[in-house]
Structure 1
Amino acid sequence: MDRAMLDRFITDWLARSLPPEKRHQAHADWNDQGVALLPLGARFSVVRLPERLVHAAVGSSNLTTVAETLTERLQGPVIRDTLAVGLPYYPLIQWHAGVVWENDEEAPCLGEGTYMGVPHISRVTPPGTYWLAPPRFEGDLCRPEAVQQLILRGRAVVADQAEAARA
């Protein structure tokens, strides 16, 4: 299967988060704007990770290093939004993970009742919303446990830095 066909399967899978009569709108938005507004909690949910937490967990703010490390650790797609407050990263996880996700203000799971601007599969560079790690196949998602481990690692590093600053 060639890359164009695979990308079409992936974008069709993403668009299927919308009702059938609205899926054409996602494709039109991707063509016109590069980003389509999709509901979360149907095909996938996302975890909003602040930049400082991710960079602490990775040990770098270099975007190439961050992208390589997140791809290796999370084994799934990650969206980055360079226009949002906190410059968040959004790993895509199973749609039902939000039901059991700890109520976390710093790294919340966004699911049912929330919409998100999802970039076209080919949008892999800033500015704006883009795929830091694009989906590799239809249904590709990060494991929630891997995202939780990243959060725990980031929090531990931030706590260590705060302790060292107080000393």
Structure 2
Amino acid sequence: MTHTDTPEAVAAWLASTAPAPDTAHEDWTTPLGGVAFLPLGVHFDAIRIPIGLIRAAAGSDNDPEITPVLEELLSGGPVLTDGYRWYHALVPLGTQKTWTRTDAQCVSDGTWLYVPHPTWTSCGISWAVPPTRVGATCTAADVVRLLERTQRTTGTTL
């Protein structure tokens, strides 16, 4: 059985990256799925992956079919999407220092990201794979595996 934390505990962890965590909590209470603007490089970095690469890896552009692929390939690590252009896999703090791939960008200090509440999984900026544990991230190795699957699926070398 996998350990999970309450959504409130995960939300508190995410909000703690902000200079004013209470503001993040307030932002999440706005109607229709509010998002908080949170800085990267505090508890985690993020790998920004173009939506086309995610769809190629999943062999689908249908969100209900993409999510299980992401869950499997990224070992259940948290991934959010804006629904239009990007997916962001949260990865351990410091990943940007060693990230060398050019098909997906690792972002950290100085970058802010719109982040939905951990329970928001539909419409617009939402979690494709929601965070279920405080401190949980995807591994960079799992993201590389996802990107390599894209290369195999599309036959491209990046």
Structure 2 length normalisation: TM-score? 0.88
Match of 2:23 in 1: 25
Ranges of 4+ aligned residues in structure 1 off by more than 6 Å: none
- Partner amino acid, structure 1, of 2:132: R
Q: Which range is displaced more, 35-44 or 58-67?
A: 58-67
The equivalent position to 1:118 in structure 2, one of 96, 115, 118, is 115
Residue aligned with 2:56, SS: helix
1:156 lines up with 2:157 in the alignment: no
Residue aligned with 1:17, SS: coil
Match of 2:79 in 1: 78
Q: Distance in 2 between matches of 1:26 and 1:62?
A: 30
Larger Rg: 1
Tell me if the contact between 1:53 and 1:158 (Cα under 8 Å) persists in the aligned partners: no
Q: Distance in 1 between matches of 2:44 and 2:64?
A: 25
Tell me if the contact between 2:73 and 2:145 (Cα under 8 Å) persists in the aligned partners: no
Q: Distance in 2 between matches of 1:82 and 1:72?
A: 20
Q: Distance in 2 between matches of 1:30 and 1:151?
A: 31
Match of 1:165 in 2: none
Give 5+ residue unaligned stretches, structure 2: none
Considering only aligned residues, what root-mean-square deviation do their CA atoms show, in Å?
1.7
- Deviation at residue 103 of structure 1 after TM alignment: 5.3
- Partner amino acid, structure 1, of 2:128: L
Match of 1:139 in 2: 135
| 1:32-51 superposed matches below 5 A | 32=30, 34-51=34-51
The equivalent position to 2:106 in structure 1, one of 85, 104, 109, is 109
Count, aligned residues? 150
Q: Which range is displaced more, 73-82 or 53-62?
A: 53-62
- Deviation at residue 155 of structure 1 after TM alignment: 2.4
- Identify, as 1 or 2, the structure richer in helix: 1
Q: Distance in 2 between matches of 1:156 and 1:125?
A: 29
1:99 lines up with 2:97 in the alignment: yes
Q: Distance in 1 between matches of 2:119 and 2:60?
A: 25
Task: Give the share of equivalent positions with the same residue, in percent.
Answer: 33
Give 5+ residue unaligned stretches, structure 1: 163-167
- Deviation at residue 153 of structure 1 after TM alignment: 1.6
- Deviation at residue 62 of structure 1 after TM alignment: 2.1
- Partner amino acid, structure 2, of 1:119: P
- Partner amino acid, structure 2, of 1:148: V
Structure 1 length normalisation: TM-score? 0.83
Q: Distance in 1 between matches of 2:55 and 2:8?
A: 32
Q: Distance in 1 between matches of 2:29 and 2:78?
A: 21
